Amino acid sequence: MKTAVLGGGLSGLSAGYYLLRRFGNPLTIYEASPRVGGWIRTEARRDRDFIFETGPRTIRPVGIPGANTLEMMEELQLPLKPIPRSHVAARNRMLYAKGQLCMLPNSPRGLFGVKPPFTQPLYKALLHDLSTGRTLASNEDESIYSFAERRFGKEIADYAISPMICGICAGDAKQISVRFLMEGLFEKEQKYGGVLKGILYARFKDNVDEKKPGLFAQDQPKLYAQALQEKWAMYSIEGGLEVLPRAMRKYLDQHNVNVQLSNACQTLTFSKSGVRMSLRNADVPVDHVVSSLPAYKLAPLLKPQHPSLCEQLLEIPYVNVVVVNIQYNGNQLKQDGFGLLVPPVEKLPILGVIFDSCCFDMNGNTVLTVMMGGHWFDQWFGHQPSQKQILDIAKKYVREILDIQEEPKFSRVHILPKCIPQYTVGHKERVKRIRKYLKDYKLPLSLCGAAFDGVGINDVILSARRQVDAIP
């Protein structure tokens, strides 16, 4: 079978990796830009002994998606840099709210005191859940904000859930589907009439053993077992996360997969004999295409033959994110931790700050990443913000919140247009409808990538694997 992959981001490279395993060659990956990796980009300042990550920086080794990624890391023999759960970057997560830096509770004891920005002990939110009955039918969807407010109260929705959604997808919790992150909790509520009741009941009844992820026919990956044993909270790769797509590219090259850069696909035309892709200099026929493109990039490729599919893809919205990497000499932080998030109710132009140099050793430098924009990009930055305007805002908040008065020695501003898809209410059904369309019309096209099955690194790798496994 002759297969092709559209997109050389992490999901496209993963699709190539799994297609090679399943069908072998001939296989070609077409990437529009001159490099692989998509949003994964590491700037290594070797002369200065630190790195800037423009996109993702850490991976969580959790559950089947986490185990699946670690299996790939193992095969590629990548040097991982784990952060155990006991590390300060895993334990200390902060909010900037009500004019102060607030440490989030990191142990069950933290449920009982009153800690800002909360005005009540957190156990009261659990009592709220226990005393509130089920209110939605199980086949419906709602925003994660409204679910959290219903179950745990407004304070939790504003100061715990909303900033968490900013940290994960730069989105507005009032629009993001509860099924994006809390599907399990939502379903427990629907089944047992409460989140806590559901968790307790499921624990006694189902006796889940998370040490046995079901995807692997025999043993779980060794690295996953190691991560469980050593209690990793997250990890990166020596040299930065861009090492991963580079290693995948090398692996694919070594196995004679044709990776074509600067060769965007412009249209896909389906016929009884397969699919024809129009590329830079030629039209190429293949038997099956796996697309890892962002939904809004795939949509126009399908429009001439399948306008309604195109419209459905365009219903998946995206947000722009601003990433400002900053470096200072010496240790400038007064409080160590993973970083801080700013709840949207605070109405500040930053989403949060990541303390990169607390997570990983940067040879005595302080390296921070200020995230901005997301759902609120237009509101704060309009259509064409200047790099200086953005850098000034980042520096102002770092000064005010973290009390770092020095000028950064080195900084970089990146505006990442339409980089994170938003799983708004109804997303799961939308994706089901899109895939049903492909099935109904028997189109030899599979869809993976951040637009569909989860926005994190683990999700896009697993999405590629599952889509390749499902090819008839």
**Of the residues 32, 102, 103, 199, which one makes contact with ligand FAD according to CB under 6 A:** 32
Q: Output the smallest distance, CB 426 to ligand FAD, in A.
A: 21
Measured at the alpha carbon of residue 219, what is the angle toward residues 218 and 225, in degrees to the nearest 5? 160
Residue with the two structure tokens 């297969």:
3
Binding of ligand FAD by 322 (CB under 6 A): no
Min dist CB 349 to ligand FAD, Å, is 16
Q: Candidates 4, 17, 19, 55: give the one binding ligand FAD (CB under 6 A).
A: 55
Q: Are 68 and 78 in contact (CB under 8 A)?
A: no
61 binds ligand FAD (CB under 6 A): no
Q: Residue 64, interface with ligand FAD (CB under 6 A)?
A: no
What is the smallest separation between the CB atom of 464 and ligand FAD, expressed in angstroms? 8
| Binding to ligand FAD in span 241-300, by CB under 6 A | 264-265, 292-294, 297
Cα–Cα dist 355/351, whole Å: 14
Instruction: Please tell me whether residue 54 adopts helix, strand or coil conformation.
Output: coil
The one among 176, 456, 462, 465 contacting ligand FAD by CB under 6 A: 456
Q: Is position 51 an interface residue for ligand FAD (rule: CB under 6 A)? A: no
Please say whether the beta carbons of 10 and 293 come within 8 A. Answer: no
- The smaller minimum CB distance to ligand FAD, of residues 7 and 198, is found at 7
Candidate segments 71-79, 94-102, 386-394, 452-460, binder of ligand FAD by CB under 6 A: 452-460
Burial of residue 353 (number of CB atoms within 10 Å: 0-12, 13-18, 19+)? buried
Q: Is residue 145 a contact point for ligand FAD (CB under 6 A)?
A: no
Three-class secondary structure of residue 10 per DSSP: helix
Binding-site member from 7, 194, 349, 444 for ligand FAD (CB under 6 A): 7
How would you classify the pairing of strands 27-30 and 3-6? parallel
Of 18, 20, 41, 56, which one interacts with ligand FAD (CB under 6 A)? 56
Q: Which of 346, 259, 288 is nearest to 29 (CA)?
A: 259
Span near ligand FAD by CB under 6 A; candidates 24-32, 183-191, 208-216, 386-394:
24-32
Q: Does residue 443 touch ligand FAD according to CB under 6 A?
A: no
How far, in Å, CA of 19 to CA of 240, rounded?
Answer: 26
C-beta of 185 vs 301, nearer to ligand FAD: 301
Is there binding between residue 352 and ligand FAD (CB under 6 A)? no
CB-nearer residue toward ligand FAD: 223 or 420: 420
Q: Which of 383, 381, 332 is nearest to 353 (CA)?
A: 332
Region binding ligand FAD by CB under 6 A among candidate stretches 105-113, 181-189, 395-403, 414-422: 414-422
Q: Answer positive or negative: Cα dihedral of 15, 17, 22, 23.
A: positive
Strand order in the sheet with 318-328: 100-103, 93-97, 339-341, 350-355, 366-374, 318-328, 410-421
Question: ∠ CA 23-25-28 to the nearest 5 degrees?
Answer: 110
Residue 194 touching ligand FAD (CB under 6 A) = no
Contact 299, 293 (CB under 8 A): no
178 binds ligand FAD (CB under 6 A): no
CB atoms within 10 A of CB 180: 23
Q: Is the peptide bond before 385 cis (omega within 30 degrees of 0)?
A: no
Q: Which is nearer to ligand FAD, 196 or 357 (CB)?
A: 357
Instruction: Kindly state the number of chain residues that form the binding site for ligand FAD, as judged by CB under 6 A.
Output: 36
Report d(CA 10, CA 446) in Å as an integer: 16
CA distances from residue 21 to 17, 33, 215, 250, 285 in whole angstroms, order as listed: 6, 25, 15, 15, 21
Q: Which of 30, 224, 377, 423 binds ligand FAD (CB under 6 A)?
A: 30
Binding residue for ligand FAD, selected from 3, 28, 42, 58, defined by CB under 6 A: 58
Binding of ligand FAD by 167 (CB under 6 A): no
Q: Which of 51, 80, 182, 419 binds ligand FAD (CB under 6 A)?
A: 419
Question: In this structure, are residues 371 and 312 in contact, taking their beta carbons and an 8 Å threshold?
Answer: no
Decide: is 38 part of the binding site for ligand FAD (CB under 6 A).
yes
Residue 66 binds to ligand FAD (criterion: CB under 6 A): no
Q: At 77, list the tokens.
A: 């023999």
- Of 41-49, 159-167, 206-214, 413-421, which part binds ligand FAD (CB under 6 A)? 413-421
User: What is the per-residue DSSP string for 207-248?
Assistant: ---TTS-TT-SSSPPHHHHHHHHTTEEEEEETT-TTHHHHHH
Contact stretch for ligand FAD (CB under 6 A) within 42-50, 84-92, 308-316, 415-423? 415-423
Binding site for ligand FAD (CB under 6 A): 6-12, 30-33, 38-40, 55-59, 264-265, 292-294, 297, 321, 323, 416, 419-420, 449-450, 455-457, 460
